[in-house]
A and B are shown apart, each in its own frame.
Chain A
Amino acid sequence: MWKSLHIDPARCTGCLQCEMACSYEHTGIMNPAKSRIKVFSFEHEGRKVPYTCTQCSEAWCLNACPVDAIRIDLGTGAKMVFEDTCVGCKVCTIACPFGTINYSQDSGKVQKCDLCAGDPACAKACPTGAITYIDADWTGYGRMQAWAAKANTPATTA
């Protein structure tokens, strides 16, 4: 069973623990500038929104790559960048509609969310449950449940 990162912006406080966890997982130091998940703050609306790759089934980045450096991890469904193949041409960064694959000047390659081999550091670090890692088929389960609760039907009487 594949899982998906599920983001609930309404729970996000903007603490950036996810960005630090992501950078630590991938670079060994705490450096939000190298994080593959970013939290955006819309100050005048009071909104904070974490944003990262959603692992498209038909991934624009994967299809655009001229050297097949982006491949699917069959264990997690993550679209993985293979750095030894990537030539840093950045075509994938143009192809991705969401901007969630980015070039790194340090490595000369692109980087994106790889789901941390099935145990995403961002979700583990999130203190409020704004980022969770759940059954890919049921990312709407929580919201359905919340609306079901609002249906306000009587308990079964029989």
Chain B
Amino acid sequence: MGWNRKILRVNLSAGTCTEEPLNMEWAQDYLGSRGLATKYLVSEIDPGVDPLSIDNKMIMATGPLTGTMASTGGRYTVVTKGPLTGAIACSNSGGFFGAEMKFAGWDMVIFEGRSPTPVYLFIENERAELRDAGHLWGKSCWETEDIIKRQHQDPQIRISSIGRAGENQVLYACVVNDLHRAAGRSGVGAVMGSKNLKAVAIRGTRGVAGIKDFPAFMQATQAAKKVLADNAVTGQGLPKYGTQVLMNVINEMGALPTRNHRDVQFEEAGRISAEAMHEKRASDGKPHLVTNAACFGCTIACGRISEIDKGHFTVKNNPKYWGASGGLEYEAAWALGAANGVGDLEALQYANLICNEQGMDPISFGATVGAAMELYEMGVLSEEQIGLEAPFGSVEALAKMVELTAQGEGFGKELALGSKRLCEKYGHPELSMSVKGQEFPAYDSRGIQGMGLAYATSNRGACHLRGYTVASEVLGIPVKTDPLVTEGKPALVKAFQDATAVFDSAGICVFTSFAWTLADVQPQLAAACEGDWSMEKLNEVGERIWNMERMFNNAAGFTSRDDTLPPRLTQEPAKTGPAKGLVNRLGEMLPEYYSLRGWTPDGEPSAETRTRLGL
């Protein structure tokens, strides 16, 4: 079974919580989490809906492997129509919240309408009720978790919440659970804020009983864990260095976007790398990194727990930031650092802490700061407008901007709109390093060609987690491909996109795919879930999910013209490194990609493709 077969529908306008059976036919076609929640969403909302209006819905969903002994089986997904992009938004998170939802007996929670006053949802096994959150409004994610646990006198409650950023509807606000894990991208936290929903607090003590064949499941999960342990990336690299292991690697490849993608290598990359996090600081003799940490059920444990330098100017008068806390991960270190030319590790951790505390996506925030700094250097934005001097590399500007944005003050209100709206407002739309309104993550597609196509076609806007061809083009997983050529990349991107949709929908972490292929996931799903879960079926489910998301975006107004990259990447050659002189050759890849997908030249799934996939 794998599923609890039960969903909770919360009507925030009416203040009601209603139990419904899970649609098991859909579960067979869309698996769970990302796929199944998206199926519910696209069946229930008008694709043209304003994402921050009362008519949008937001779903928190687990997968069949969430809450089980499958390694990394702790993930949940937040699905909604995203305010940053206007496209499908689908952000998943680890930590412990997703497993707790499963233990309480639910597969997903659908939120609809808008509460007239701030509320939080409290779930204790079968019991679910909306409670007043007037006392929580204005509080950070960290304070919210603390207050709810104290109020219920139960330290074992798991909580997912929004901070000030979500309340203020920062367009890249995220939903934060377990203090520093986040459903990070596309502004899912702003949607939650628009619904006056401050938090979801869950205590589940029922466990996961619905495994189809327990002995087979234990055997399959055990074998798969061994694959992770024996793999150099998941068994050694990620536990020791975290995702930050990539900083120096990507910089050497000439694919580390620097200063709003003006450059592709950052001269100070070493200072903000994994290696730097292990080194003892000159100031206090302690390393930045305290330990690694796992999310629920994870046998990799890539998470970073660090302690900021208490003497750093950003925190020296603010002891609440002195304790061990989450960060830095590669994407955040890049977005807050290289993207702005800032090479001060402690300042990056400060900005990262604020992003965690108040619930903001550090990728989109950092990249938006990068755009603002470029506008400042061009003389388009003045010191008066921003509130201080803000050239590339300014540690002070980064620190000030993160505070202003998190609190919704001054120039922070403009940064809260994301780089696309900011750059459009000041007459330079070409300077927004984004696709479909969402900012790029930490890989420059001039040096990693396949990522250009992955970004351009990602259903939630620019994103590395929808088709991570970096695995193949840089790390050689599952086979090494040349990052500088476009040949073969359309098929590679499609394969990664479809497989990733299955990983996400199963309730496991996509980082397992450094070691696992679908063939490692398949026996785990087959033992957990009733029905046919062959490799063939899984490939089809992945492709179906991808096309379903695409059709929602098409219906929301997106066309092939939106499958594009900023001119900087397709017209301005990389200045240094192995990709020197190259641009991204998206035009060479896109038609072949459409053809492989069975889409029309306009980028719409053809009637034949829709029929084949049952869409």
Residues of A within 8 A of B (CB): 13-17, 20-21, 23-24, 27-34, 43-48, 125, 127-128
Contact = CB atoms under 8 A, between A and B. Distances in A.
Given A30-B211, A31-B205, A34-B205, 10 more contacts: A17-B299, A24-B69, A24-B218, A29-B211, A30-B207, A43-B324, A44-B323, A44-B324, A45-B324, A127-B301
B245 interface: no
Interface of B: 67-69, 71, 96, 99, 103, 156, 179, 204-209, 211, 214, 218, 225, 229, 239, 290-299, 301, 303, 305, 307, 323-325
A15 B103 contact: no
15 contacts: A13-B294, A13-B301, A14-B293, A14-B294, A15-B296, A15-B298, A16-B96, A17-B297, A20-B69, A31-B208, A32-B99, A33-B103, A46-B307, A47-B291, A48-B293
Nearest to A12: B294
Contact of A33 (B71, B207, B297, B324): B207
Given A30-B67, A33-B103, A46-B324, A15 B207 contact: no
B142 to A, nearest CB: 9
Given A16-B296, A30-B207, A33-B207, A127 B69 contact: no
Nearest to A16: B296
Nearest to B295: A15
Given A29-B208, A30-B68, A15 B299 contact: yes
Given A16-B296, A31-B103, A33-B103, A46 B291 contact: yes
Contacts of B179: 43
A128 B571 CA distance: 49
Query: Interface centre among A15, A20, A30, by most B CB within 10 Å?
Result: A30
Contacts of A48: 293
B207 A31 contact: yes
A34 B207 contact: yes
**DSSP class of B's interface residues: helix, strand, loop or mixed?**
loop
Contacts of A14: 293-294
B299 to A, nearest CB: 4
Contact of B205 (A33, A43, A44): A33
A28 B214 contact: yes
Contacts of B301: 13, 15, 127-128
Contacts of B324: 43-46
A34 B156 CA distance: 13
A157 B295 CA distance: 49
Given A33-B103, A44-B325, A15 B297 contact: yes
A125 B279 CA distance: 32
Contacts of A43: 179, 323-325
B302 to A, nearest CB: 10
B103 A32 contact: yes
A45 B103 contact: no
Contacts of A27: 207
A42 B397 CA distance: 33
B294 A45 contact: no
B363 to A, nearest CB: 24
Contacts of A24: 69, 214, 218
Contacts of A32: 99, 103, 207
Q: Of residues A17, A44, A46, which shows the largest number of chain B Cβ atoms within 10 Å of its Cβ? A: A46
Nearest to A35: B207
Contact of B207 (A23, A47, A125, A128): A23
A43 B179 CA distance: 9
A13 B323 contact: no
B327 to A, nearest CB: 12
Contacts of A46: 290-291, 293, 305, 307, 324
Contact of A127 (B211, B293, B299): B299
A8 B298 CA distance: 18
Contacts of A17: 69, 297, 299
